[in-house]
Structure 1
Amino acid sequence: GIGEFMGFSPIVSGTGLIGWEFLNRTREKQQAAFAQSPSIARDSTQFAEQIQGVQTSEQLMDNHTLLRVALGAFGLDEDVNNRAFIKQVLDSDLTDGASLANRLADKRYLRLAEAFNFAGSDGPKIGGAGIESELIAKLDNLSSAEDLLLDRKLLRATLAGFGLDTNLSNAYFLQQVLESDLADPASFANRLSDKRYVELARTFDFHSKSQAGDDLYGFSRTFTDRLADLETAEDLLDDPDLLDSALRIFGLEKDFANLDRPDFLLNVLNSDPYDGNSFATQLEDKRYLALSNAFGFGDSGTETSKAEKLISRLNARTDTVEQVSDLFNDIGLTLAVMDFFNLPQGEGKITLARRIVGADRSDPNALINVYPDRRYHAFANAFDFKEKSDTRSYSQGFVAAIVGSYHDRQFENEIGESDTNMRIALSMERDLSLLVDRGGSGDTQWFSVMASAPLRSVFETAFGLPSSFGALDVDQQLVVFKDRSERMFGTDRVADFADPDMLDQLRRRFLLISDQNSAQSLSSGGGVVLALLSGAAG
């Protein structure tokens, strides 16, 4: 088997349900060991390190290792040398129903094209491509090393992407790696001889994220579930985390640290921002007035604070504000942010704000660096704006998902070397989920089952159908499939088998009957041998 060349070879002890129980119980440990096999670990690390350099389908095709991992993640290993065909799949225009990837009956090719999306303008994306979208969303939205370390499934997928599975339980060590400042040669990750740890730290860049935690998203995460409990200025002052976040969003953390007047901030927060004689309105630095205005402790007429309105508006967005245009194209959010920072909103003021936010900070004469009102500077720092780039980038979620799927598929291939039915049992959940996620009518999904060799085998075996069943007209097959499904499982809908309990029932029946069929075949074969031997003896 291929395991001979990879190091660890997975073990299946027994057949049918007995074999499945053993495999299910030991799968996590076996897959972790399998991922450490030399060729698997080498391929995974190389993919994680080199995929960012792949900007075109030609570059992917020219890197045999990356192509092998990419194809392997979708179960298309056999096409690694079918270069012209795969390139045409990768370059398919997915908006054109007549393109090659859209026309192929085997939807694995479509999922490959969707994932790398070379013909699209919005870059690589995994969602709906057959690899857990929930996993990817989590990975791409991590804000700290703790978030990753607390999610074991997420951590396992991440470490697998770098061939570092053996460190799964070493949380303290991993936290030191993930929080390393890579700009510092003496940082923890930089001192390790294995440079995969540097790549791991660089991929997530938690150190920089911790430094940039003063933006509005950090403020929103801190206050979302706790803002409603703040009834007085004292409540805010008594909570060090909330107070620190509030001061940082206005750029006041250093100023306040140097103040030796203990009641200063209390007077600021209790000021009525609409009273020209209140404490905050008379301060030269208008950021203090903005702070008072944001929480409204001194404004008895407000029911919903500016901070609450902003957080609500921010959380209502389905996508993250990454570019200056993302903010200013959402006029409701723009006004909420300007209101939060107590910025004037009259004629030309939004244009001024956009000029300040979009200015080149590296230019000492840029408007953001010379404008005297520091509220605008706090406004500009409210988001982690990124430079627009035509360069394709592959998120950590994308990399981890592709590598994780590659590991799963290769593990299944190796299991299949000794037991084909066990391999099918391993892939059932993924194959059914993909089919159901594609949507379509109930009949359409049954036709998709018929077109999938593994799923057809599962249902035909579970339903006790003969090997000649596939020769019937497909409409007749549909009637039989739905009838048997209803009688045996109480449903004629494929989608219902995506439910974990239903899936387990289907898998167990498939394994039980396939094992019985194998035993009967062996018994029948033995009888033939005995008859032949008896005849020869006579």
Structure 2
Amino acid sequence: MSYQPIIPFSGYAGWSFLNRTMEKQQAAFNASSEIQRNEDYFREKIGSIETAEDLVNDRRLLSVALGAFGLDEDINNKFFIRKVLEEGSLDSESLANKLSDKRYLKLTQAFGFGDYGIPRTVLSDFPDEIVQKYERRQFEVAVGETDNSLRIALSVQRDLPELAAKDSSEKTKWYTIIGSPAMSEMMQTALGLPKSIGALDVDAQVRIYAEKADRLYGSTDPAQFAEPDTLKQLTRDYFLRSQLTTGTTITAGNAALSLLQGAQQNRLSLLL
């Protein structure tokens, strides 16, 4: 079995605890027998994989490949994944480029089956590249088994600053946020937007997201979330508002208590 992350609190207090103990917990998770077996198999076999068909026909390899990009639930969608991989990323009309969820684009870019005559699987550093992504993503999955809001926050800490720093338009960045399950969930909750916003035209959604972000954080541009302090404020708002949406009663007093508990845990050390 894999190491199960220790999450003694929910909400922002749990997030603070997880951040303080992240390095030790991630190391223990990486060293677990299940993760090590999967990684050893991937390192041994991936260099011999030359086509998307080869990859999807090896379930163990495919599980690591998909797991590295948070696409674990697609393990049985072999035809779909093969099509994504074979069409690649260079053609603007390829399936990966048309999908709003850009995890598929990152997957096909990483493997290169549809983009190059020789796939990236033969590169000497390719196994390390994918294994590092796999370890981080699978740790997030394990955290999510205890508290899915923490998994979402971990995912956003990785993806949102990267997106925010890109040299692309505000609208393009909002499109990407809306198309990302984790980023859209955090942003909707932190901004206090209803789930029903997803039924609106995407350009209408962008206007609403941008206006609300401007009121709360001072700018319509997602580039602001490249700043650690703004990202921290967004994350805190997400946890405090998520307690409301999950039915937890929050008053000014117990919201403050939640933050106080997080501060108190700074004096604790985790024994692993």
TM-score category, normalised to shorter length: 0.7 to 0.9
2:49 matches 1:64: no
Question: Among residues 499, 504, 526, which one is paired with 2:232 in the alignment?
Answer: 504
Question: Among residues 6, 19, 22, which one is paired with 1:27 in the alignment?
Answer: 22
Residue number in structure 2 paired with 1:406: 134
Question: Among residues 196, 202, 206, which one is paired with 1:478 in the alignment?
Answer: 206
Q: CA deviation at 1:451?
A: 2.1
Q: What is the distance in 2 between the residues matched to 1:479 and 1:107?
A: 21
Q: CA deviation at 1:516?
A: 4.2
Residue number in structure 2 paired with 1:443: 171
Task: Return the letter of the residue paired with 2:9.
Answer: G
Q: What is the distance in 2 between the residues matched to 1:100 and 1:438?
A: 22
Task: Return the letter of the residue paired with 2:225.
Answer: F
Q: CA deviation at 1:471?
A: 3.6
Tell me if structure 1 keeps the 8 A contact 2:68–2:135.
Answer: yes
Question: Among residues 79, 90, 98, which one is paired with 2:74 in the alignment?
Answer: 79
Q: Which has the higher helix share?
A: 2
The answer for unaligned runs of 5 or more in structure 1 is 1-5, 126-391, 524-538
Residue number in structure 1 paired with 2:3: 8
Which protein has greater RCO, CA pairs closer than 8 Å, 6+ apart?
Answer: 2
2:123 matches 1:394: yes
* Bigger Cα Rg: 1
Tell me if structure 2 keeps the 8 A contact 1:13–1:23.
Answer: no
Please give the residue correspondences for 1:296-445 in structure 2 after superposition, counting only pairs within 5 Å.
393-396=122-125, 398-436=126-164, 439-445=167-173
Q: Could you say what secondary structure the match of 1:96 adopts?
A: coil
With structure 1 as the length reference, what TM-score do the two structures score? 0.44
Instruction: Give the 3 Å change call, closer, same or farther, for CA 480–116 of structure 1 in structure 2.
Output: same
Q: Could you say what secondary structure the match of 1:492 adopts?
A: coil
Deviations 1:202-238 (A, max 9, x none): xxxxxxxxxxxxxxxxxxxxxxxxxxxxxxxxxxxxx
Please give the residue correspondences for 1:215-294 in structure 2 after superposition, counting only pairs within 5 Å.
none
Q: What is the distance in 2 between the residues matched to 1:70 and 1:31?
A: 19
Task: Return the letter of the residue paired with 1:483.
Answer: E
2:177 matches 1:462: no
Q: Could you say what secondary structure the match of 1:49 adopts?
A: helix
Q: What is the distance in 1 between the residues matched to 2:198 and 2:146?
A: 26
Q: CA deviation at 1:405?
A: 0.9
Instruction: Give the 3 Å change call, closer, same or farther, for CA 87–408 of structure 1 in structure 2.
Output: same
Q: What do you get for the CA RMSD once the two structures are aligned?
A: 2.3
Task: Return the letter of the residue paired with 1:468.
Answer: S
Instruction: Give the 3 Å change call, closer, same or farther, for CA 14–93 of structure 1 in structure 2.
Output: closer
Deviations 1:294-353 (A, max 9, x none): xxxxxxxxxxxxxxxxxxxxxxxxxxxxxxxxxxxxxxxxxxxxxxxxxxxxxxxxxxxx
Q: What is the distance in 1 between the residues matched to 2:88 and 2:177?
A: 26
Q: CA deviation at 1:467?
A: 3.3
Q: What is the distance in 2 between the residues matched to 1:33 and 1:420?
A: 20
Residue number in structure 2 paired with 1:269: none
Tell me if structure 2 keeps the 8 A contact 1:15–1:515.
Answer: no
Residue number in structure 1 paired with 2:97: 102
Q: What is the distance in 1 between the residues matched to 2:240 and 2:118?
A: 45
Residue number in structure 1 paired with 2:109: 114
Q: What is the distance in 1 between the residues matched to 2:176 and 2:167?
A: 11
Q: CA deviation at 1:93?
A: 4.3
Deviations 1:147-174 (A, max 9, x none): xxxxxxxxxxxxxxxxxxxxxxxxxxxx
Q: What is the distance in 2 between the residues matched to 1:42 and 1:470?
A: 40
Residue number in structure 1 paired with 2:47: 52
Instruction: Give the 3 Å change call, closer, same or farther, for CA 465–93 of structure 1 in structure 2.
Output: closer
Q: CA deviation at 1:41?
A: 0.9
Task: Return the letter of the residue paired with 2:27.
Answer: A
Q: What is the distance in 1 between the residues matched to 2:12 and 2:25?
A: 18
Instruction: Give the 3 Å change call, closer, same or farther, for CA 123–489 of structure 1 in structure 2.
Output: farther
Q: CA deviation at 1:494?
A: 0.7
Q: What is the distance in 1 between the residues matched to 2:232 and 2:165?
A: 19
Instruction: Give the 3 Å change call, closer, same or farther, for CA 439–122 of structure 1 in structure 2.
Output: farther
Q: What is the distance in 2 between the residues matched to 1:484 and 1:491?
A: 9
Tell me if structure 2 keeps the 8 A contact 1:34–1:411.
Answer: yes
Tell me if structure 1 keeps the 8 A contact 2:50–2:119.
Answer: no
Q: CA deviation at 1:517?
A: 4.0
The answer for unaligned runs of 5 or more in structure 2 is 252-272
Task: Return the letter of the residue paired with 1:55.
Answer: E
